[in-house]
């Protein structure tokens, strides 16, 4: 370990350790992002909402249908498939941070073969009612309280900007720390 005072001060200050990132592969990621920017618009994912399922599909195709099968060069871009995976992950993370991600990872659909009518299930919607509802109940309640908190913060000028009762705060805190919510996290 170095005795360099600048390095020691940076570590104590909790600064982001960018020096730990291997920068070589980022050139391929940047080229993939440029290709995407030319095709869809530069940083379009910040202007338009994006669906998580779209990027889940793209990550799967590049990771499982290309890289895991020995493909080291994407046929469209000429870049490594893992550069595409990293680019997709960066877009999703950035969209989460900017609030432009539509999280549809849990949405399920079934089609009635006779009528052709599609039923859509989203465990975060109030209508969700099937065998997984108990599993997702804490997550659903957390979302309801979070929505209520946001609604009150936006619609109560001159009053308590939060507006949750002490009981609701306790419930929200409990749900936030609950095992059920953490267990549901990989699916959310």
The predicted-structure confidence for 37-92, as pLDDT tens digits, reads as follows 999 999 888 888 999 999 999 999 999 999 999 999 999 999 999 999 999 999 99
| Confidence category of residue 9, pLDDT binned at 50, 70, 90 | confident
Query: Same domain for 98 and 158?
Result: no
Query: Same domain for 24 and 98?
Result: yes
Domain count, the chain: 2
- Give the relative orientation of helices 52-60 and 81-98 as an angle to the nearest 10 degrees: 160
Q: Which residue has the higher pLDDT, 11 or 134?
A: 11
65 within 8 A of 16, measured Cβ to Cβ: no
Lowest mean pLDDT among 37-51, 54-68, 106-120, 123-137: 123-137
**Nearest residue to 94 (alpha-carbon basis) of 162, 48, 63:** 48
pLDDT digits (tens, 9 = 90+) for 53-66: 999 999 999 999 99
Q: How far apart are CA 65 and CA 86, in angstroms?
A: 15
Q: How far apart are CA 32 and CA 91, in angstroms?
A: 12
Task: Please give the pLDDT value at position 91.
Answer: 95
Res 154 pLDDT > 70: no
| Confidence category of residue 156, pLDDT binned at 50, 70, 90 | low
Looking at 72, 102, 132, which one is the last position of a domain? 102
pTM of the model: 0.57
Task: Please give the pLDDT value at position 56.
Answer: 92
Structural domain includes residue 71 = yes
Structural domain includes residue 14 = no
Looking at 49, 72, 102, which one is the last position of a domain? 102
Res 132 pLDDT > 60: no
Res 5 pLDDT > 80: no
Q: How far apart are CA 87 and CA 89, in angstroms?
A: 5
Mean of pLDDT over the chain? 78
| Confidence category of residue 116, pLDDT binned at 50, 70, 90 | confident
Q: Which domain holds residue 121?
A: 108-187
- What would the mean pLDDT of 143-165 be, rounded to a whole number? 62
């Amino acid at each position: 370990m170095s005795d360099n005072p600048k390095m020691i001060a940076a570590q104590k200050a909790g600064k982001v350790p960018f020096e730990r990132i291997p920068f070589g592969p980022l050139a391929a990621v940047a080229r993939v992002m440029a290709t995407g920017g030319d095709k869809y618009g530069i940083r379009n994912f910040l202007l338009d909402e994006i669906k998580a399922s779209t990027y889940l599909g793209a990550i799967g195709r590049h990771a499982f249908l290309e890289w895991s099968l020995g493909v080291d060069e994407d046929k469209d871009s000429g870049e490594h498939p893992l550069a595409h995976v990293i680019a997709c992950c960066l877009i999703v993370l950035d969209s989460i941070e900017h609030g432009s991600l539509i999280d549809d990872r849990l949405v399920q659909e079934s089609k009635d073969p006779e009528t052709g009518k599609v039923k859509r299930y989203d465990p975060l919607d109030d209508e969700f009612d099937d065998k997984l509802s108990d599993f997702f109940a804490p997550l659903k309640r957390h979302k309801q309280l979070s929505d209520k908190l946001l609604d009150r913060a936006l619609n109560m000028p001159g009053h308590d900007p939060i507006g949750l009762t002490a009981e609701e705060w306790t419930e929200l805190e409990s749900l936030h720390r609950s095992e059920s919510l953490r267990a549901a996290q990989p699916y959310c």
